[in-house]
Amino acid sequence: MLTIGKLGAQAGVKVPTIRYYEQIGILPEAERSAGNQRLYSRKALERLAFIRHARDLGFTLEAIRDLLSLSDNPDQSCAAADTIAKAQLAEVESRIARLTALKAELERMVVQCAGGRIADCRVIEVLGDHSLCATDHRHPHSAHPD
């Protein structure tokens, strides 16, 4: 049996985060010691590692909740898990695309700012005037994930 601190160390998750996961019901309530401290089994460690990996891959806790409920009854089709992973992949690809456009813009800004006065500095200008922008950040207006 592991204390919460050991569990966190082994899974690479901070202690308050573990308690938070329990609070929102993504980890089951832990057993307690005589002194009311949480005790965790190997199974709990695995579940936490699962969560940690999924978070690292950018899955939301909601998606993880779904994945966990799938893995809890493993006798059905894999399709739902596949769907969730695919959606995640699409999201990641979209983010990469947006960030790449963004990078080009920032590079342009930095190059053009040769250290003159701000009045001549395109950094400000580019951000203020859309017509000077290389990218088109008007229509999509996707909620900012950041």
Contact 107, 116 (CB under 8 A): no
134 forms part of the interface with a second copy (CB under 8 A): no
130 forms part of the interface with a second copy (CB under 8 A): yes
When CB distances are held under 5 to 8 angstroms depending on the partner's kind, the choice from DNA, a second copy, none that residue 131 binds is none
Contact 77, 84 (CB under 8 A): no
Report 2-41 residues binding DNA (CB under 7 A): 3-6, 8, 14-17, 19-20, 30, 33-38
81 forms part of the interface with a second copy (CB under 8 A): yes
When CB distances are held under 5 to 8 angstroms depending on the partner's kind, the choice from a second copy, DNA, none that residue 34 binds is DNA
When CB distances are held under 5 to 8 angstroms depending on the partner's kind, the choice from DNA, a second copy, none that residue 37 binds is DNA
| Closest C-alpha to 41, from 3, 11, 71, 67 | 3
Query: 56-63: which pairs have CB atoms within 8 A and are 24 or more residues apart?
Result: 57/88, 58/88, 58/91, 58/92, 59/84, 59/88, 61/24, 61/26, 63/87, 63/88
Q: Exposed (0-12), middle (13-18) or buried (19+): which is 68, by Cβ within 10 Å?
A: middle
The least CB distance from residue 66 to a second copy, in Å, is 11
Cα-based angle 24, 29, 78 (whole degrees, multiple of 5) = 70
Report 66-95 residues binding DNA (CB under 7 A): none
Using CB under 8 A, list all residues that contact a second copy: 12, 46, 49-50, 52-58, 67, 70-71, 73-79, 81-82, 84-86, 88-89, 92-93, 95-96, 99-100, 102-103, 105-107, 109-110, 113-121, 123-124, 126-130, 133, 135, 137-139, 141, 144-146
